[in-house]
């Protein structure tokens, strides 16, 4: 049996349904190729990243989103729609119709561990909606951020079962990890890394590129087979940090946030009441106690904080404009009327991961180097441009989640889980322009798509029996604003933040603040010590009035119900750790290079994402490039990891061998040979000798040519744990942003001599510092 054949046959003349047959010929009947039922719509699923409920103007927020407003006016918007509170889990639940722990995605894929609910690997028993639609005659394409592929499988060796191309998508163009530089992302087309169509200097921006590619694919499918419906999944990298926008958007919001986050919450709530997206009696939920109020800030902090929020608003408006460009083209092509547009304004609440002061390079914060307002002011005019990697202060997340409390990661409260949702389908939604107050969750998206297409959920896919859908279809509410809601119970859990919704009541406990992502896990309280809160959301829209002391019996019943649901959906054992999930070898996910002391890489390879590459942190190493100059002047990249905001590169510039170490906390160290490479040059190497004694310490770097020392420099500090979320270990070429600005204007900077291979030597066999220090690293960094 071929596991990749399509197990689909027609069971009725007008209905295609997935059954237990794996014969490629079943794609065709006597009448022709398998088709979905007559009138099945196209489906455009748009997902924005890190957008809180109170961000978009369509839901009362300060960020102008005219496309969302227009689609809502001609469709409907859902005011009580929920996500999981984190990126990968929401995507997994949305695309499978099962809860995130049920499909192994209890946390982001980079933090996968051995527990079934957290192993980062979707089981074959939970096929994606793309796979089901594909098998029933749809064309399927994904363009953007996936964040579902296990990091240890993102190599030339695969396996490729969890890549988009084998999760049901005919076409994929985008990135596989958590985030990407908007100006210099590393992108895949299907299984291969590709060059960007333009440079940042030529006006490249990722969001625009994704829409260009999605439209090209749709128009190609529709041209060649006009009767074939398509499913287009468009998950933008925006508005996840870094907050980077085209030049023409940089000044769109100048001065509009000088009033600060406290006042913004009040303004937003007033607008939300006017729009009817919250109940008239709604009050602001309590402020998160650790976050500063605007009036307590210095003038400099206000200046930086306001500017960072201006960039976020411009970022969201720019992204919404790209959605508008997409839907306008569909309208012009006559496709929009029978396209179900599902516009998810966020995969979780607004992000509080920028820390208390925000940052110029928020990757520094993920390594535990908190940037100060003074440091940001020094490069104030660069914010939002390609030379910045900024994020706003955590308190803005509280404002962007108005009227709720908390933010992304906090799966207990609605600030982390409630997001705006818009449905637009002229052929299927006739009662337009209103709101829908039925309670729903992202696990309901797949059942909704299947019901709209007239396709039943399959019992088997590729010969594998399927788990029942755990979500419910929302279609009953399309034309019945008063329809009785059908999703009545739902658990939540991320990093020990947990809660349950049950027939209007919520019991919740916020265990871990999201701005403590890089904090020591051992400083957290025991989960047994967490205080639970109780809210009646039928009368208290924003979870503002805690009734735990008034109805203790009700609270205890809901806490017990949470445990029942947690046991049912693989949430147990509860795990509140972030980086310490990998504190011991037994708890770490597989690594393709684990234990190897010598690794040889070649310039024809795709490159290695950082999580699949050798670890260069807190350790000694040697990198050797084998080359032939043929006696001619040469230049270009030999090997590099990371980019402008942290990393290293061994390269040749004007025939001089050079090594640059870019410390994520700020500052570059250069080693440069004084003699040009000659015809006799065969090896260029750099050896780094780590001081030891802890994490992020310094060491000595030695640059050599043909085994003879050419330069030696001290590197006082090294990056603790991560250079980048998206850049790669590349050989012979520079993909992504440049480690050094001295080759920033040279594009791919491909080595123009002959580079045969690069060898990496790790004297400790891939383990770095000793076991005690490894544990300290896991506890102290992200």
Asked whether residue 13 carries a pLDDT value surpassing 90, the answer given is: no
Residue 484 located in a structural domain: no
Residue 442 located in a structural domain: yes
Q: Which two tokens stand for residue 766?
A: 């891939």
Question: What local confidence, expressed as pLDDT, does residue 613 receive?
Answer: 94
Residue 516 located in a structural domain: yes
Asked whether residue 99 carries a pLDDT value surpassing 60, the answer given is: yes
Question: What local confidence, expressed as pLDDT, does residue 336 receive?
Answer: 98
Residue 1 located in a structural domain: no
Q: Which two tokens stand for residue 654?
A: 């004007």
Residue 256 CA to residue 252 CA, distance in Å, equals 9
Cβ neighbours of 583 (radius 10 Å) = 18
Residues 107 and 44 in one domain: yes
Residue 18 is classified by DSSP as E
Average pLDDT rounded to a whole number, residues 348-358: 95
Q: Between β-strands 505-509 and 339-345, what pairing exists: parallel, antiparallel or unpaired?
A: unpaired
**Cβ 65 vs Cβ 56: under 8 Å:** yes
Q: Which two tokens stand for residue 544?
A: 């503002």
Confidence of residue 191 (pLDDT cuts 50, 70, 90): very high
Q: Which two tokens stand for residue 633?
A: 């002047």
**Cβ 406 vs Cβ 288: under 8 Å:** yes
Residues 95 and 66 in one domain: yes
CA distances from 481 to 431, 447, 749 (A): 8, 19, 57
Residue 61 CA to residue 399 CA, distance in Å, equals 9
Residues 380 and 527 in one domain: no
Confidence of residue 12 (pLDDT cuts 50, 70, 90): very low
Q: How far is CA 766 from the centre of its chain?
A: 28
Q: Which two tokens stand for residue 510?
A: 């916020």
Q: Which two tokens stand for residue 360?
A: 């110029």
**Cβ 419 vs Cβ 78: under 8 Å:** no
Residues 72 and 131 in one domain: yes
Residues 547 and 597 in one domain: no
If one counts the domains in the chain, the total is 3
Asked whether residue 780 carries a pLDDT value surpassing 70, the answer given is: no
pLDDT in tens, 633-649: 999 999 999 999 999 99
> Would you call 446 helix, strand, or coil by DSSP?
helix
User: Cβ neighbours of residue 688 under 8 Å, at least 6 residues apart?
Assistant: 616, 620, 621, 622, 699, 700, 701, 702, 715
Residue 143 CA to residue 209 CA, distance in Å, equals 9
Enclosing domain of residue 495:
489-585
Question: What local confidence, expressed as pLDDT, does residue 584 receive?
Answer: 65
Residues 27 and 161 in one domain: yes
Question: What local confidence, expressed as pLDDT, does residue 4 receive?
Answer: 33
Confidence of residue 694 (pLDDT cuts 50, 70, 90): very high
Of 424, 451, 476, which residue is a domain's last?
476
Question: What local confidence, expressed as pLDDT, does residue 101 receive?
Answer: 98
Residue 632 CA to residue 644 CA, distance in Å, equals 29
**Cβ 719 vs Cβ 696: under 8 Å:** yes
Percentage of the chain exceeding pLDDT 70: 92
Q: Containing H/E element for 642?
A: strand 636-643
Of 585, 606, 634, which residue is a domain's last?
585
Residues 606 and 463 in one domain: no
Residue 643 CA to residue 737 CA, distance in Å, equals 5
Average pLDDT rounded to a whole number, residues 197-207: 96
Residues 457 and 525 in one domain: no
Question: What local confidence, expressed as pLDDT, does residue 587 receive?
Answer: 66
Question: What local confidence, expressed as pLDDT, does residue 765 receive?
Answer: 52
Question: What local confidence, expressed as pLDDT, does residue 515 receive?
Answer: 83
pLDDT in tens, 20-66: 333 333 444 445 788 999 999 999 999 999 999 999 999 999 999 99
| Pick from 41-45, 78-82, 724-728: least confident | 724-728
pLDDT in tens, 291-332: 999 999 999 999 999 999 999 999 999 999 999 999 999 999
Question: What local confidence, expressed as pLDDT, does residue 200 receive?
Answer: 94
Dihedral angle of Cα 719, 371, 386, 245, to the nearest 10 degrees: 130
Reference 148, options 218, 210, 93, 84; nearest CA is: 93
**Cβ 140 vs Cβ 130: under 8 Å:** yes
Q: Which two tokens stand for residue 143?
A: 């363009």
Reference 622, options 700, 731, 696; nearest CA is: 700
Dihedral angle of Cα 87, 401, 510, 504, to the nearest 10 degrees: -100
Residues 499 and 565 in one domain: yes
Main-chain dihedrals φ then ψ at residue 299, nearest 5 degrees: -60, -40
Residues 465 and 505 in one domain: no
DSSP output for 317-341? HHHHHHHHHHHHHHHHTT-GGGEEE
User: What CATH number does residue 178 fall under?
Assistant: 3.40.720.10
Reference 452, options 225, 100, 129; nearest CA is: 129
CA distances from 315 to 244, 362, 573 (A): 7, 16, 38
Exposure string (b/e) for 517-536, b if CB count within 10 Å is 16 or more? bbbebeebeeeeebebbbbe
Pick 732 or 22 by higher pLDDT: 732
Of 585, 605, 625, which residue is a domain's last?
585
Question: What local confidence, expressed as pLDDT, does residue 348 receive?
Answer: 98
Question: What local confidence, expressed as pLDDT, does residue 521 receive?
Answer: 55
**Cβ 487 vs Cβ 519: under 8 Å:** no
pLDDT in tens, 130-140: 999 999 999 99
- For the chain, what is the mean pLDDT? 92
Asked whether residue 222 carries a pLDDT value surpassing 70, the answer given is: yes
Residue 483 located in a structural domain: no
Residues 764 and 738 in one domain: yes
Q: Per this entry, what is the length of the chain?
A: 782
Task: Classify residue 242 by burial, with Cβ atoms within 10 Å: 0-12, 13-18, 19+.
Answer: buried
Main-chain dihedrals φ then ψ at residue 383, nearest 5 degrees: -55, 130
> Would you call 550 helix, strand, or coil by DSSP?
coil
Residue 266 located in a structural domain: yes
Q: Which two tokens stand for residue 635?
A: 């230049």
Residue 482 located in a structural domain: no
Residue 185 CA to residue 661 CA, distance in Å, equals 21
Residue 481 located in a structural domain: no
Asked whether residue 1 carries a pLDDT value surpassing 80, the answer given is: no
| Rg of the chain taking only CA atoms, in angstroms | 26
User: What CATH number does residue 524 fall under?
Assistant: 3.30.1120.10
Residues 529 and 397 in one domain: no
Question: What local confidence, expressed as pLDDT, does residue 588 receive?
Answer: 74
Q: Which residues pair with 420 in a beta bridge?
A: 345
User: What CATH number does residue 736 fall under?
Assistant: 2.60.120.200
| Pick from 220-229, 264-273, 584-593: least confident | 584-593
**Cβ 747 vs Cβ 199: under 8 Å:** yes
Distant-in-sequence contacts of 651-659, Cβ < 8 A, 24+ apart: 651/734, 651/740, 651/743, 651/749, 651/751, 652/677, 652/684, 652/751, 652/753, 653/742, 653/743, 655/629, 657/684, 657/703, 657/705, 657/710, 658/703, 658/740, 659/686, 659/701, 659/703, 659/711
């Amino acid at each position: 049996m071929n596991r990749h054949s399509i197990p689909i046959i027609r069971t009725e003349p007008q209905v295609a349904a997935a059954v237990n047959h794996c014969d490629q010929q079943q794609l065709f009947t006597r009448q022709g190729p398998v088709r979905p039922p007559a009138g099945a719509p196209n489906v455009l699923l748009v997902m924005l990243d890190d957008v809180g409920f109170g961000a978009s103007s369509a839901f009362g927020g300060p960020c102008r989103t005219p496309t969302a407003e227009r689609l809502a006016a001609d469709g409907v918007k859902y005011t009580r729609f929920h996500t999981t509170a984190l990126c990968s889990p929401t995507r997994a639940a949305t695309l499978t119709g099962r809860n995130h722990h049920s499909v192994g995605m209890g946390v982001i894929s980079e933090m996968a561990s051995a527990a079934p609910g957290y192993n980062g690997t979707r089981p074959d028993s939970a096929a994606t909606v793309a796979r089901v639609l594909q098998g029933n005659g749809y064309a399927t394409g994904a363009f953007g951020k996936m964040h579902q592929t296990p990091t240890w499988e993102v190599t030339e060796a695969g396996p490729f079962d969890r890549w988009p191309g084998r999760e049901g998508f005919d076409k994929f163009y985008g990135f596989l990890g958590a985030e990407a530089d908007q100006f210099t992302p590393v992108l895949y087309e299907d299984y291969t890394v590709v060059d960007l169509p333009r440079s940042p200097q030529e006006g490249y921006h990722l969001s625009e590129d994704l829409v260009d590619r999605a439209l090209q694919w749709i128009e190609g499918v529709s041209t060649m087979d006009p009767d074939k419906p398509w499913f287009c999944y468009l998950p933008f990298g925006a508005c996840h940090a870094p907050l980077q926008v085209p030049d023409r958007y940089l000044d769109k919001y100048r001065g509009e946030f000088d009033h600060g986050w406290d006042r913004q919450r009040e303004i937003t709530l007033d607008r939300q009441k006017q729009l009817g997206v919250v109940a008239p009696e709604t009050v602001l939920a309590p402020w998160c106690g650790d976050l500063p109020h605007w009036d307590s800030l210095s003038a400099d902090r206000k200046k930086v904080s306001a500017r960072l929020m201006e960039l976020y608003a411009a970022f969201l408006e720019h992204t919404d404009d790209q959605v508008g460009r997409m839907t306008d083209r569909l309208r012009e092509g006559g496709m929009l009327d029978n396209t179900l547009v599902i516009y998810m304004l966020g995969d979780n609440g607004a992000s509080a991961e920028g820390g208390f002061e925000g940052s110029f390079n928020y990757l520094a914060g993920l390594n535990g180097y908190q940037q100060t307002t003074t440091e940001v002011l020094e490069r104030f005019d660069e914010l939002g441009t390609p030379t910045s990697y900024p994020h706003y202060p955590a308190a803005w997340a509280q404002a962007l989640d108005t009227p709720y409390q908390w933010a992304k990661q906090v799966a207990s409260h609605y600030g982390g889980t409630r997001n705006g949702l818009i449905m637009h389908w002229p052929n299927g939604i006739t009662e337009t322009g209103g709101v829908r107050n039925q309670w729903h969750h992202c696990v309901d998206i797949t059942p909704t798509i299947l019901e709209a297409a007239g396709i039943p959920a399959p019992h088997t896919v590729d010969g594998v029996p399927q788990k029942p859908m755990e979500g419910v279809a929302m279609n009953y509410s399309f034309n019945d604003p008063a329809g009785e809601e059908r999703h009545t119970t739902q658990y939540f859990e991320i990093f020990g933040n947990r809660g349950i919704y049950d027939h209007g009541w919520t019991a919740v406990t916020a265990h871990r603040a999201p701005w403590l992502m890089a904090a020591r896990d051992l400083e957290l309280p025991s989960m047994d010590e967490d205080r639970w809160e109780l809210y009646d959301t039928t009368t208290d829209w924003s979870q503002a009035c805690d009734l735990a002391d008034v109805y203790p019996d009700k609270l205890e019943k809901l806490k017990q119900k949470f445990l029942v649901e947690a046991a049912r959906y693989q949430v147990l054992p509860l795990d509140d750790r972030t980086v310490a999930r990998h504190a011991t070898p037994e708890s770490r996910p597989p690594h393709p290079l684990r234990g190897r002391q010598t690794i040889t890489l070649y310039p024809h390879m795709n490159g290695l994402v950082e999580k699949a590459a050798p670890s260069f942190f807190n350790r000694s190493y040697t990198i050797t490039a084998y080359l032939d100059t043929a006696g001619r002047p040469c230049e270009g990249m030999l090997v590099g990891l990371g980019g402008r905001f942290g990393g290293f590169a061994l390269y040749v510039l004007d025939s001089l061998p050079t090594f640059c170490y870019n410390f994520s906390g700020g500052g570059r160290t250069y080693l440069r040979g004084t003699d040009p490479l000659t015809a006799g040059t065969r090896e260029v190497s750099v050896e780094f000798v780590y001081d030891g004694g802890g994490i992020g310490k310094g060491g000595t770097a030695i640059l050599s040519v043909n085994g003879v020392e050419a330069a030696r420099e001290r590197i006082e500090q090294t990056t603790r744990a991560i250079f980048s979320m998206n850049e790669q270990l590349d050989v012979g070429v520079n993909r992504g942003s440049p480690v050094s600005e001295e080759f920033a204007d040279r594009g791919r900077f491909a080595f123009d001599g002959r580079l045969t291979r690069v060898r990496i030597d790790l004297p400790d066999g891939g383990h770095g510092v000793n076991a005690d220090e490894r544990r300290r690293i896991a506890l102290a960094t992200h």
